[in-house]
Amino acid sequence: GPVTIRDVAPYLRSQAFWVCLEGARSESGYPILYCKGMFGGSRTDLVRQVLYAMDRIWANMPADRPPKMVWVMEVVASSYRIPDKDFRTAVFDTLKCQYPWMKHSEGVYFLDAPNVVKWGFKIMGNFFDKDEMAKFHFISRSQWQKQSFGISPENRLPDWGGGTLRFDIESYIAERARAEGVDPELCSAQNCAVATVDTAIEHKIRCSAAEAKELATFCGYLWKRGSGGLLGNTKWKRKYFAVFESRCAVYYDSEADARPAQFLDLVGSDVQAWQSDRPHSFLLLTARRKFHLACETPEELETWVGRFQRLATDGDHVREAMMRSDSNLQPLNVEAEWQLV
């Protein structure tokens, strides 16, 4: 069925989301899509977020001219990641298939993007053609205060630099619920809270590795294999993991790092045996992705697997979904000896 505000409200309350700024227009009269950070969720959740945001853009599209839009992407460094296969399929493929006109966007403006984000988009030639890439503009807030970039101050948010447009996410959710005939109470913060991954992890764990060591239930080094990503990198690298009693974890590139490299939501996670080119390896399956991990010794393997399994709850749906997408995975008897890997 159609995606409603109730489906996306939890993600709109998180630190990364897409939203059509209802009523705001570029100087040419086209709607504005505000992208704060790089949103997350399962593949289904990502598709729903794209569909809802783009459907609202279409509803705000002027009827007397060819469809176009303006993207304003406020970079949130903590949510940024190189797009994995699920993200590329759910976001890029959905946009190209469902909204082919979006390639004619007036412009895509990235606010205060760090170099890693600029680099990430420069290597995405397989997903964007030259005309689309030419519309990508990496600008600072101070630059936007000095130039209009096709959006007048009354149609810009204050955080962008020089804007006066007022926008409140709770008011937006309530207004959309009334317009769509959805009971606003069902979309309230009490009944439709922030998406789990944000409340459990991204709003709480922003500490250094040293601080995480003091707060974590357990921590230590594991080998992690690259997921492939855009560059096809599947090399093994040693990472420092910290796992918390609230069923979430983080890992760092080193024990001296000031900020985590990645957040893991362990709610609904599962562990699978896995034969690889590195001994003592296993798969950690979360609702968002799978992590290829390995230990130094059989004893460490047994310890880490036991710890992850103790924190994981209700992992059947994750295991089944992963096994459908990877025929090489086999069910693991929790009581089995881990010496086999």
Q: State the Cα–Cα distance between residues 332 and 137, nearest whole angstrom.
A: 49
Given CA atoms 45, 199, 290, 310 in this order, what sign does their dihedral have?
negative
- Model pLDDT, residue 336: 34
Fold of 204-340: PH-domain like (2.30.29)
**19 pLDDT higher than 50:** yes
Instruction: Tell me the CA end-to-end span of the chain in Å, nearest whole number.
Output: 44
With bands split at pLDDT 50, 70 and 90, how would you rate the model's confidence at 313?
A: low
Which one, of 146, 238, 171, 244, lies nearest residue 201 by Cα?
244
Sequence ranges of the domains in the chain: 5-187, 204-340
Question: In whole angstroms, what is the distance from residue 301 CA to residue 156 CA?
Answer: 52
Q: Which residue has the tokens 């069923």?
A: 247
Q: Are 101 and 54 in contact (CB under 8 A)?
A: no
Lowest mean pLDDT segment, chosen from 3-17, 49-63, 65-79: 65-79
* pLDDT reported for residue 265: 81
Q: Where are the alpha helices (DSSP H) in the chain?
A: 5-12, 43-59, 85-87, 94-98, 115-122, 130-133, 141-146, 169-180, 196-197, 209-215, 298-311, 316-325
Pairing of strands 218-225, 290-294: antiparallel
Distance from C-alpha of 59 to C-alpha of 82, rounded to nearest angstrom: 31
Q: How far is CA 227 from CA 16, 120, 231, 260, in A?
A: 22, 16, 10, 17
Residue that has been written with the tokens 């096994």 in this structure:
323
Give the span between the Cα atoms of 15 and 201, in whole angstroms. 11
pLDDT band at 300 (very low <50, low <70, confident <90, very high): very high
Global pTM? 0.58
User: Higher confidence at residue 208 or residue 154?
Assistant: 154
Which residues pair with residue 218 across a beta bridge?
243
242 - beta bridge partners? 219, 250
What does the pLDDT read at residue 327? 38
> How does pLDDT run across 207-252, given as a tens digit for each residue?
788 888 887 888 999 999 987 655 557 899 999 999 887 678 889 9
Q: Which range (95-99, 109-113, 271-275, 336-340) has the least confidence?
A: 336-340
SS3 213: helix
Q: Of 160, 63, 76, 69, which is closest to residue 114 (Cα–Cα)? A: 76
pLDDT digits (tens, 9 = 90+) for 258-290: 888 888 888 778 898 888 889 999 999 887 788
Average pLDDT over residues 42-66: 91
Tell me the Ramachandran region of residue 295: left when phi exceeds 0, alpha when psi lies from -120 to 50, beta otherwise.
beta
- Percentage of the chain surpassing pLDDT 90? 33
Q: How many angstroms separate the CA atoms of 117 and 75, rounded?
A: 8
> Is residue 78 helix, strand or coil?
helix
Measured CA to CA, the distance from residue 154 to residue 55 in angstroms comes to: 23
Tell me the CATH number of domain 5-187, given options 2.40.50.100, 3.40.525.10, 3.30.465.10, 1.50.10.10.
3.40.525.10
Three-state DSSP class for residue 176: helix
Whether 171 shows a pLDDT value over 60: the answer reads yes
Q: Does the pLDDT value for residue 341 go beyond 60?
A: no
